[in-house]
Amino acid sequence: MAKLVSSWSSGVKSIPKDYVMPPERRAGDYITVCKEIPVINLEDDRLEIVRQILKACQEFGVFQVINHGISDKMMEDMMALYDEFFNLPVEDKLGVYSEKPRKGCTLYTSGLEYAKEDLHYWKDTLKHPCHPLEEHSPSWPDKPARYKEEVARYVVEVRQMGFKILDMIGEGLGLREGYFNEVSQEHSMAINRYPPCPNPSLAMGIACHNDPNLITFLQQDHYGLQILKDGIWMGVEPIPNAFVVNLGYQFHVISNGKLKCVEHRGLLNSSVSRTSIVTFLGPNPELPTVVEPAKELVTSSNPQMFKSYRYNEFIANYLVLAYNRKSGSRNGYALDSYRL
Ligand code: OGA
Ligand code: NI
């Protein structure tokens, strides 16, 4: 528990040496905010939205949505809730804290497993499964007292928005309705907390990675999220109450390479705590769900790019690579062994 950055970092003047990244793992050069990352108004005409979403997924693998139907109040209440959660006294968070990776609700610090890391990330994370609610919400934090009720309402709404966006991507790709049902059964959340860091350019919040799932919806309060496009790191503008939507590895495979999955990372700042509330939809890693390029998208001019595989095997492989991956990055890394 003492390891949580949010519990010891307040007022420290410089970072401990096991948080100092070597130059190749630091932020380096980047474009602070890239105004070209598409911002899509979900109240526009449906056909127009479908066109914009598809274009964004082909060019960037990421876009933002506004007027998405989830109220400003709900989004602001969520941020306030997590501010309170991370500021709770240590005793109140012990029930969910773990230093070993585990499946259910877990509060942990840094990356996959603190004890096995050479260097640590300046981040604490609360993660938990979300669906079905009745099965998972009992394991969520007891404090703040309104946690379960408020988060349950958010889960329902984000899920609805998420499936609406999935439907539109399916429509843009020309896939039958419900195409993604089987590959979006797992709904989970991770809430990342990046306390202010006295040396933000030497440390890192979250290392560059591709999300292993199908699609991710991220709510953020302050700047810090960056994406890699054509070899250049670019910041994603923190638009109040927007969602950043990014595609994970499974979308790249299912679309037979037509849609991009985007490599991203999280930087730190020295003045404010940054929080991101992240919702993941993807195949259930407990089930042997098969993932493969959609037959409709395989043609003689666009031959099948990936073999079909079982998602649980992919995840096992992804984790081994993530543990071994100390530096550098390569888009499509975890997909290398599935390429045809
Ligand atoms: C993630 C992620 C980025 C952020 O949790 O997968 O990419 O800004 N987070 O917290
Ligand atoms: Ni991510």
The alpha carbon of 119 and the centre of ligand 2 are apart by a number of angstroms equal to 19
Average pLDDT over residues 265-276: 98
Q: Are 305 and 293 in contact (CB under 8 A)?
A: yes
Q: Whose CA is nearest to atom 6 of ligand 1?
A: 211
Q: Which residues contact 45 (CB under 8 A, 6 or more apart)?
A: none
Query: 299-316 pLDDT, tens per residue?
Result: 999 999 999 999 999 999
Query: 184-242 pLDDT, tens per residue?
Result: 999 999 999 999 999 999 999 999 999 999 999 999 999 999 999 999 999 999 999 99
- Residue 105 pLDDT > 80: yes
Question: What are the tokens at 42?
Answer: 């979900």
Check residue 326 and give its pLDDT. 59
Atom number of ligand 1 nearest to Cα 224? 8
Average pLDDT over residues 286-304: 96
Confidence category of residue 332, pLDDT binned at 50, 70, 90: low
Residue whose token pair is 């501010």? 83
Question: Phi and psi of 64, rounded to 5°?
Answer: -115, 150
Confidence category of residue 324, pLDDT binned at 50, 70, 90: confident
Question: Phi and psi of 226, rounded to 5°?
Answer: -130, 150
Confidence category of residue 331, pLDDT binned at 50, 70, 90: low
Element (H, E) at 166: helix 147-173
The alpha carbon of 164 and the centre of ligand 1 are apart by a number of angstroms equal to 22
The alpha carbon of 2 and the centre of ligand 2 are apart by a number of angstroms equal to 25
The alpha carbon of 45 and the centre of ligand 1 are apart by a number of angstroms equal to 30
Question: What are the tokens at 123?
Answer: 């981040």
Pocket test for ligand 1, best of 62, 125, 192, 204 (most atoms within 8 A of CB): 192
Mean of the per-residue pLDDT values of the chain: 95
Question: Phi and psi of 316, rounded to 5°?
Answer: -60, -45
How far is it, in rounded angstroms, from Cα 340 to Cα 337?
Answer: 9
Average pLDDT over residues 123-138: 98
Q: Which residues contact 257 (CB under 8 A, 6 or more apart)?
A: 293, 302, 305, 306
Question: What are the tokens at 118?
Answer: 């050479």
Q: Whose CA is nearest to atom 8 of ligand 1?
A: 225
> What ligand has the least distance to the C-alpha of 205?
1
Question: What are the tokens at 241?
Answer: 């109450």
The alpha carbon of 133 and the centre of ligand 2 are apart by a number of angstroms equal to 23
Average pLDDT over residues 11-15: 95
Atom number of ligand 1 nearest to Cα 209? 7
Check residue 2 and give its pLDDT. 81
- Residue 330 pLDDT > 60: no
Query: 201-212 pLDDT, tens per residue?
Result: 999 999 999 999
Check residue 201 and give its pLDDT. 97
Count helices and strands in the chain by DSSP H and E runs: 7, 14
Which residues form ligand 1's pocket by a CB distance below 6 Å? 190, 192, 206, 211, 220, 224-225, 264, 266, 276, 278
> What ligand has the least distance to the C-alpha of 126?
1
Specify burial of residue 51 (Cβ count, 10 A radius: 0-12, 13-18, 19+).
middle
Q: Which residues contact 180 (CB under 8 A, 6 or more apart)?
A: 166, 170, 214, 254
> What ligand has the least distance to the C-alpha of 247?
2
Check residue 154 and give its pLDDT. 98
Check residue 333 and give its pLDDT. 81
Q: Which residues are in the CB-under-5-Å shell of ion ligand 2? A: 211
Q: Whose CA is nearest to atom 10 of ligand 1?
A: 276
Share of the chain above pLDDT 70, in %: 97
Pocket test for ligand 1, best of 204, 206, 279 (most atoms within 8 A of CB): 206
The alpha carbon of 234 and the centre of ligand 2 are apart by a number of angstroms equal to 15
- Residue 327 pLDDT > 70: no
What are residue 181's DSSP bridge partners? Answer: none
Check residue 258 and give its pLDDT. 97
Torsion over CA: 101, 102, 103, 106 (sign): negative
The alpha carbon of 84 and the centre of ligand 1 are apart by a number of angstroms equal to 20
Q: Whose CA is nearest to atom 1 of ligand 1?
A: 278
Q: Are 192 and 278 in contact (CB under 8 A)?
A: yes
Query: 67-95 pLDDT, tens per residue?
Result: 999 999 999 999 999 999 999 998 999 99
- Residue 175 pLDDT > 70: yes
For 19, 180, 333, the CA distances from 313, given in Å and listed in that order, are 32, 19, 15
- Residue 51 pLDDT > 90: yes
28 CB neighbour count, 10 Å cutoff: 9
Q: Whose CA is nearest to atom 3 of ligand 1?
A: 266
Confidence category of residue 1, pLDDT binned at 50, 70, 90: low
Query: 243-257 pLDDT, tens per residue?
Result: 999 999 999 999 999
The alpha carbon of 10 and the centre of ligand 2 are apart by a number of angstroms equal to 26
Q: Measuring CA to CA, which residue among 328, 85, 41, 318 is closest to residue 189?
A: 85
Check residue 146 and give its pLDDT. 98
> Does the model's pTM come out above 0.85?
yes
Atom number of ligand 1 nearest to Cα 211? 6
Torsion over CA: 202, 82, 163, 283 (sign): positive
